[in-house]
Amino acid sequence: MTPALKNDLFLRACRGEKTERPPVWIMRQAGRYMPEYQEIRKKTSFLGLCKTPDLAAQATMLPVDMLGVDAAILFSDILIPVEAMGMELEFSEHKGPSFPRPVQSRMDVDRLLVPEPVAHTGFVAEAIREINRRLSGRLPLIGFAGAPFTLATYMVEGEISKDFSRVKQMMFSDPETLHTLLDRITETVIRYLEMQIEAGIHAYQIFDTWAGSLSPVHYRSFALPYVRRIVDSLQRHGIPSILYVNGSCALLEDMVTAGTNVVSVDWRMSLANVRERVPASVSIQGNLDPVSLLGTPAILREETRRILEDMKGRPGYVFNLGHGILPSTPVSMAKYLVSLVQKGLDAPVPSKAQAV
Is 138 known to be catalytic? no
How many other CB atoms are there within 10 angstroms of residue 348's CB atom? 11
Is 41 known to be catalytic? yes
User: Which pLDDT score, from 0 to 100, does residue 95 have?
Assistant: 77
Whether residue 32 is annotated as binding a ligand: the answer is yes
Whether residue 202 is annotated as binding a ligand: the answer is no
Among candidate residues 8, 33, 37, 41, the one labeled active-site is 41
User: Which pLDDT score, from 0 to 100, does residue 142 have?
Assistant: 98
> To which H or E segment does residue 263 belong?
strand 262-264
- Angle between helix axes 224-234 and 148-157 (nearest 10 degrees) is 130
Whether residue 209 is annotated as binding a ligand: the answer is yes
Delimit the domains of the chain by residue range.
8-343
Q: Give the whole-angstrom CA distance, residue 199 versus residue 352.
A: 39
Q: How far apart are the first and last CA of the chain?
A: 46
**What does the pLDDT profile of the chain (356 residues) look like in tens digits?**
456 899 999 999 999 999 999 999 999 999 999 999 999 999 999 999 999 999 999 999 999 999 999 999 999 999 999 999 999 999 887 778 999 999 999 999 999 999 999 999 999 999 999 999 999 999 999 999 999 999 999 999 998 888 999 999 999 999 999 999 999 999 999 999 999 999 999 999 999 999 999 999 999 999 999 999 999 999 999 999 999 999 999 999 999 999 999 999 999 999 999 999 999 999 999 999 999 999 999 999 999 999 999 999 999 999 999 999 999 999 999 999 999 999 999 989 977 665 44
Residue among 344, 329, 265 at smallest CA distance from 294: 329
User: Which pLDDT score, from 0 to 100, does residue 152 have?
Assistant: 98
Whether residue 218 is annotated as binding a ligand: the answer is no
Whether residue 19 is annotated as binding a ligand: the answer is no
User: Which pLDDT score, from 0 to 100, does residue 2 have?
Assistant: 53
Contact residues for 348 (Cβ-Cβ < 8 A; gap 6+): 339
Pairing of strands 203-208, 141-146: parallel
For the chain, count helices (H), then strands (E). 16, 9
Is 32 known to be catalytic? yes
Does the predicted TM-score (pTM) go above 0.85? yes
Strand partners, 263: 243, 284
Strand partners, 96: 92
CB of 231 closer than 8 Å to CB of 211: no
Among candidate residues 8, 12, 37, 154, the one labeled active-site is 154
User: Which pLDDT score, from 0 to 100, does residue 69 have?
Assistant: 98
- Exposure string (b/e) for 198-230, b if CB count within 10 Å is 16 or more? ebbbbbbbbbbbbbbbbeeebbebbbbbbbbbb
Q: Give the whole-angstrom CA distance, residue 143 versus residue 201.
A: 6
Among candidate residues 15, 32, 277, 306, the one labeled active-site is 32
**How many residues comprise the chain?**
356
Rg for the chain (alpha carbons), in Å? 19
Fold (CATH) for 8-343: TIM Barrel (3.20.20)
Among candidate residues 12, 33, 37, 77, the one labeled active-site is 77
Q: Give the whole-angstrom CA distance, residue 254 versus residue 256.
A: 5
Q: Give the whole-angstrom CA distance, residue 164 versus residue 296.
A: 35
Whether residue 65 is annotated as binding a ligand: the answer is no
Contacts made by residues 259-263, CB under 8 angstroms, sequence distance 24+: 259/228, 259/231, 259/232, 259/235, 260/206, 260/227, 260/231, 261/14, 261/15, 261/16, 262/14, 262/316, 262/318
CB of 266 closer than 8 Å to CB of 246: yes
Among candidate residues 8, 12, 28, 191, the one labeled active-site is 28
CB of 209 closer than 8 Å to CB of 247: no
Q: Give the whole-angstrom CA distance, residue 63 versus residue 286.
A: 18
Whether residue 177 is annotated as binding a ligand: the answer is no
Complete DSSP assignment for 142-176: EEEEE-HHHHHHHHHHSB--SS-HHHHHHHHH-HH
User: Which pLDDT score, from 0 to 100, does residue 159 have?
Assistant: 87
